[in-house]
Amino acid sequence: SQQGEEDPQALSIQEGENATMNCSYKTSINNLQWYRQNSGRGLVHLILIRSNEREKHSGRLRVTLDTSKKSSSLLITASRAADTASYFCATDSSYKLIFGSGTRLLVRP
């Protein structure tokens, strides 16, 4: 079963714009992680936010976590064509990751 559900399923933006992806989940978590997957490749870890954290930054990435709403968002600022990929949220409840179905991001040059 998949706990995290991303929204939107697909997103198309112009280079330089910001991209926002949302993730909702159902049960309590230890942490929530975001991964990127380029076509035909494995997943790459982007950022981890713990259940007692509300916001975290890494370069052009900003992640928020609202445990009361059981939701998280990933913001990519000043997007680049190289950001084109699928983005997955994954919840860690018992040292086991459960992935959502992902958001497919297309950044047009």
Partner 1 sequence: EAGVAQSPRYKIIEKRQSVAFWCNPISGHATLYWYQQILGQGPKLLIQFQNNGVVDDSQLPKDRFSAERLKGVDSTLKIQPAKLEDSAVYLCASSPSGNQPQHFGDGTRLSIL
| Closer residue to partner 1 in complex, CB, 35/71 | 35
If one asks whether residue 68 binds partner 1 (CB under 8 A), the answer comes out as no
Is residue 72 a contact partner of residue 22, using CB atoms and an 8 Å limit? yes
Nearer to partner 1, 44 or 78 (CB): 44
Q: How many residues contact partner 1, by CB under 8 A?
A: 24
Residue 23: partners with Cβ closer than 8 Å, 6 or more residues away: 4, 5, 6, 7, 32, 34, 71, 72, 73, 74, 89, 100
**Which CB atom, from 61 or from 97, has the smaller least distance to partner 1?**
97
* Residues listed for the chain: 109
45 contacts partner 1 (rule: CB under 8 A): yes
Our finding on whether 102 is near partner 1 (CB under 8 A) is yes
